[in-house]
Structure 1
Amino acid sequence: MPTDRHIVLFDLFGVIARHQRPGALQRMAARCHTPTDAFTTAYWACRPPYDAGQQSAPEYWTAVLRSLSPPVSPLLSVEADTIEELRLADIDSWSRVDNRMVAYAQSLRAVTEVALLSNIPSDHADAFLAAQPWLHTLDHIAFSGKIKVAKPAPAAFHHCVIAMRAAPADFLFVDDREENVRAAQAMGMNGHVFTDRDELTAVIDTWLPTRRPTWK
C-alpha cells in the first residue's frame, strides 16, 4: 500500500543528462581503425553486462574489440593503453548535463523526495558523481553498475523501493524510454515518458499534493 509519500524517480540520460556526444562513436571507431557501423554494433551489443555491473571496463572493451568485423588485430585487442583510451573517451562522451533539468530536479526537493535510477557502468558512475556534486543532494541514487541490475529488469525498480523504504505507488518514474516506463508501471509505480521539461512540469504539478514553487 502507498505510504502517502511522493518520490520523483528520474532517469539520467535523455532526461537530466544529455545523450552521447555527437561524433563520439565515429572517433572511437577511427581509433580502432574500423568502420563506424561495425564499431557501433559491437559497442551496443556488448553493453548490457557492462551496464549491469557484470563486467569491468577492460572486460567490456576487450569484448568490443574482439567482436569487431573486420576483427581488430590481436595486439590491439589486448593493449591496455588502447582500452584505457577508449574507456576515457566513452566516459567523456556521456558527460554532459542539461543545466535547466538539473535546476528543475533540485527545485523539486523543496516539496518532495527526488531520486535517480540510471543505466550506467560503475566507472562511468564514479566519474559522473565526481563531476556533478548536485547528485549527492538527492534522496537516493541507483546506478545500474553499482546495484548490479539494469532497467528494464524489475529488480532495478525493486531496489529503489527497498532502499527508500517506500511502496511502488509512492513513485513517479520519469524516463525517455517507453519500455522502461512500462516496466516501472508493471511494478506498480506511476510513470511518465519524458519528452520535454514543460510537459513534465505539468505532469508533476498535477501528481504532487502540494503546489511546486514557481521557478524559471
Structure 2
Amino acid sequence: MPSDRRIVLFDLFGVIARHQRPGALEKMAARCHAPTEAFTTAYWACRPPYDAGQQSASEYWTAVLRWLSRPVDANTIEELRLTDIDSWSRVDGRMVAYAQSLRRVAEVALLSNIPSDHADAFLAAQPWLHNLDHIAFSGKIKAAKPDPAAFHHCVVAMRAAPTDFLFVDDREENVRAAQATGMNGHVFTDRDELAAVIDTWLPTGR
C-alpha cells in the first residue's frame, strides 16, 4: 500500500556540508614530500575501503604512503589523519538550517560516504546532526554509495519503504543508484531548486 511517510535523505558533502577545503591536498602532499598530483591519485585510489569501514585510518594512510613509496610512521599518519578530518569539516549554514526546518513537514535523514573516525569528529562538532531522524555514515554501516546496501540500510533502519524516500545528492551516479532501489531521487545543485522539488513532492495539505 502507498505510504504517506515522507523522508528526505540527504547526502552530506556537496549538499549540507562543503567539499574538501581548498589547498588541503597540497598541504598533505607536502607533508609526505610528494608531488600533489601523485598524492591526489593515491589519496583517492586507496579511499574506497576506508570510506566503507573496511580499513582503519592507520591502514588507509599506510596504503597511501606505500603507494607513494614514502616511509610509514605513526606521527606522519596522525598528522595526515587530522589534516584530512579538518579538510572536510565545513558546513553550509543555510543548508543546515533548511534541513532542520524540513522536520516540521517530513522526516529528515542523512546518508554520507565518510570514514568512521571522520564521522566521530563530525558528530562531535555538529550537534544538530543528533536531531535528525536517522544518520547513516558509510564507515559505520560498512557500505558506501553507490552500493545498494547503503540505501537498503536506511530503508531497514527507518522501517520504511523505498518509495517513502527522496534521496538528495550532488552526484548523479549516487542518485541513479538510489532510484534503482526504488527511492525517489534529486541531483542537488542549489537550495532553491531543491526546495521547489520538495514542496512538489510533499503531500498536499501538509
Q: TM-score, normalised by structure 2?
A: 0.98
CA distance in 2, matches of 1:34, 1:87: 16
Match of 2:127 among 122, 133, 136: 133
Question: Superposed, which structure 2 residues align to 1:46-85 within 5 Å?
Answer: 46-68=46-68, 71-72=69-70, 76-77=71-72, 79-85=73-79
Tell me the residue number matched to 2:176: 182
Deviation readout 1:30-70 (Å, 9 max, x if unpaired) = 001010000000000000000000000000000000001xx
Query: Offset at 1:2?
Result: 3.7
Displacement after TM superposition at 1:4 (Å) = 1.7
CA positional deviation for 1:209: 1.2
Q: Which runs of 4+ in 1 moved over 6 A?
A: none
> Which deviations, in whole Å up to 9, do the C-alpha atoms of 1:167-214 show, x marking residues without a partner?
0000000000000000000000000000001100100010011567xx
Q: 1:58/1:2 Cα in 2 relative to 1: closer, same or farther (>3 Å)?
A: farther
Residue matched to 1:3: 3
Q: Which residue of 1 aligns with 2:17?
A: 17
2:197 to 195, 199, 203: 203
Q: Distance in 2 between matches of 1:96 and 1:163?
A: 27
* Contact 2:4–2:203 (Cα < 8 Å) also in 1: no
Q: Distance in 1 between matches of 2:33 and 2:6?
A: 50
CA–CA distance in 2 between the matches of 1:210 and 1:199?
Answer: 19
Which residue of structure 1 aligns with residue 35 of structure 2? Answer: 35
2:88 maps to 94
Distance across 2 between alignment mates of 1:101 and 1:211: 24
Query: Any stretches of 5+ residues in structure 1 without a counterpart?
Result: none
Contact kept? 2:10, 2:111, Cα under 8 Å:
yes
Alpha-carbon deviation of 1:3?
A: 2.3
1:111, 1:210 within 8 Å by CA — same for their partners in 2?
A: no
> Residues 105 and 210 of structure 1: is their aligned pair in 2 closer, same or farther, counting only changes over 3 Å?
farther
**Which among 155, 158, 166 is matched to residue 164 of structure 1?**
158
Q: How many residues align?
A: 206
Structure 2: stretches of 5+ with no match in the other structure: none
Q: What secondary structure is seen at the aligned counterpart in 2 of 1:109?
A: helix
Q: Structure 2: which amino acid aligns with 1:188?
A: G
Find the aligned partners of 1:61 and 1:137 in 2 and give their Cα distance: 32
Identity among equivalent pairs (%): 87
User: What is aligned with 1:111?
Assistant: 105
